[in-house]
Every structure is written in structure tokens, then in C-alpha cells.
Amino acid sequence: MDDLLVIEDLVVAYSGPAGEVRAVDGVSLRLPRGASLGLVGESGCGKTTLALALVRLLPSCASILSGRILLEGEDLVQMPETAMEGVRWRRVALIPQAAMNSLNPVYTVGWQIREAIATHERVASREADRRAAAALELVGLDPARRFAYPHELSVGMRQRVVIAMAFACRPPLIVADEPGSGLDAISRAQVLGLMQRLRHRLGTSFVMISHDLEEATALGDLVAVMYAGKVVEVCPAGRFPGQARHPYSRALAAAHPPLRGPRQQLTGIPGEVPRPGSPPPGCRFHPRCPEAAAACRQVGPELSKVAPGHHVACHLWGGEGL
């Protein structure tokens, strides 16, 4: 299969006074060209760190300790920064968290889209302006809005501008970090609908990061669940959350009240995500798991296959192995 993105045993650590802290601890994922992946988990599970590692925009205190990130077969981990500048935006773009606040308030949005294009491609300024206008049109905004400053736009419109920027150089892969958070229900649904349409029109792949299951499955062909720096379940989006196996995946799904049917007591997940520096021994989820057994306290489970394309790291589901 033609893989757009392959992540192999990636370890990303922050260095602090107490030594190194592994926020992403041995993650392997595979994304075929044109497919999209939803990545879910609570805050503090390493989702954003993974996103930043994919575009090599980690803060200076963080570094990739080991593993490979193969984008179209080329390893981004080993790539010198100068070469990386040619990859960013043209081959992989990032829609950062709280994207609507990531625009520069003192420049017009058109200027900012032009800058993104001109930094990564050699184009005449008139051509960059034409493309900025086209990018805004693509996300359903009036091209005349390129003369507007960010404060003149609503939150939902600003989010669209950032999406327009991510698409400006037509990268095959876009990493979107919680693109719907901070928006109300309707704007969020519209932004997700927009991304879905653009994806079908342009064939772009997404890595869609969210703690919201709906958002993560909205574009996803695949869903990966992350807990405490590790991927604990990967499955086709259609099987999620209905046929999710990992107790953590099922707990996440049960946490949101249903819109229909009888009202029931919400279960939530007791306790908190462990601090990355001191994960519990064995399965990292065992202190919060309602089904934890003795083995879970001692041995960390590996991902194993339970159905085609469906892998779970849980002792309760000892499958056939990878």
C-alpha cells in the first residue's frame, strides 16, 4: 500500500529539572495516502506533542529521542532544518490549537496568507495575492476579506482563515490540532463540514487531533486512541466507538451524555492522566480501569490484532499478535 505517513516507534521527551519526561513514548502509526486519522485522548496524553513533532515545530525544551517519521518515504526526524522548511506547508501543514488566536493582529489576513505562500514557494507577489484570494474563497469567505484584520472577523471566520492558510500550498497532509475547540456547536459543525468537503475535493489527508470523539471521527478513516504517551487502540472509524475494545476508549465514549434515549448517570473516568514523568508500572491505564487484573499492574500490554485493521493494547483482549 502507498503510505503517506509512517510513524515508527517515536519517542518525544521534554527535558526538565527532574530529567527527561517522555510525552510520546513509542508511538507507531501508518496512514495510507488520501486517508485520514483521528487521534483522541484526554489532555496530557501527548496528542499535541505528537502533532508538533510531525511538523518538527517542538518547543526548544523538547526533542525527538528515537524513532522515525516517514513522510512519502522520507524521514523527517533526520532532516536538516533548512530542508524541513521546504517540507513545512508544502508537504505537511499544521492547523495549531486555538488557531483563531494564532493570527497576527497587526497584519491583514490576506498579508498573512501571502506570507505563508511566499515563504514556501517562489511566486510573484501578484500571484501570491491571487492565491490568497482563492484560498479564502475555498473556505467559503468573501475574497475581499483578505483586506480585513483578524479583529474584524468572527471566531469562526478566523478559524476558516487558518484553514485557508493550511491549504494554501496544497500539502498532501494537514495536521489539525483541535480545530473545533473554542467554537460553538454550529460553527464547529460548519468548520468540520468544510474540512470534510475540502478533503474530498482535494484528496488531502488529515491527522485530526481532538478530545472530542465526534470531531476525531468526523474526517477519520482511522481512529487512534492515545493514553499517557502511548497508542492503546487503532481501528477503522466505522468501528468507533461502537466496537471499541479498550476500556479507556469505551470510557471516553460513555463520558458524553447522549442526545436521545433515556437519561442516564454519566460515568466519566475517575482519577487523572498520570504525569508523563512517572507513569504507573504495567498498563498505564490500570489505576483508572474498572476491569484491571493482576497482570495489568505488572506488564504493559502491546498492541495486538482483534479484527482486520483493529489493534488493541489491553490484556483483556489478547489477540493474534501483530
Residue nearer to other proteins on the CB measure, 205 or 249 = 249
Q: What ranges make up the beta strands (E) of the chain?
A: 3-16, 19-32, 37-40, 62-71, 74-75, 92-95, 173-177, 205-210, 222-227, 230-236, 304-307, 310-312
Q: How many CB atoms lie within 10 A of CB 51?
A: 24
Site residues (CB under 8 A) for other proteins? Answer: 42-43, 140, 154-155, 183-190, 192-193, 196-197, 211-215, 217-218, 251-252, 254-260, 263, 265-270, 272
Min. distance of Cβ 192 from other proteins in angstroms? 5
Residue nearer to other proteins on the CB measure, 201 or 263 = 263
Q: Do the beta carbons of residue 216 and residue 38 sit within 8 Å?
A: yes
Residue nearer to other proteins on the CB measure, 52 or 192 = 192
Q: Residue 202 — φ and ψ, nearest 5°?
A: -105, -5
Residue nearer to other proteins on the CB measure, 84 or 255 = 255
Which of 205, 282, 158, 171 has its CA nearest to residue 34? 205
Min. distance of Cβ 37 from other proteins in angstroms? 17
Residue nearer to other proteins on the CB measure, 257 or 281 = 257
Residue nearer to other proteins on the CB measure, 196 or 243 = 196
Min. distance of Cβ 90 from other proteins in angstroms? 28
Min. distance of Cβ 215 from other proteins in angstroms? 7
Distance CA 155, CA 212 (A): 19
What strands lie across the sheet with 62-71, from one edge to the other? 19-32, 3-16, 62-71, 74-75
What the block records as the C-alpha cell of 141 is: 469567505
Residue nearer to other proteins on the CB measure, 29 or 219 = 219
Q: Is 294 exposed, middle or buried (0-12, 13-18, 19+ CB in 10 A)?
A: exposed
Any alpha helices (H) in 139-242, and if so which ranges?
155-167, 185-202, 213-218
Min. distance of Cβ 234 from other proteins in angstroms? 20
Distance CA 160, CA 145 (A): 11
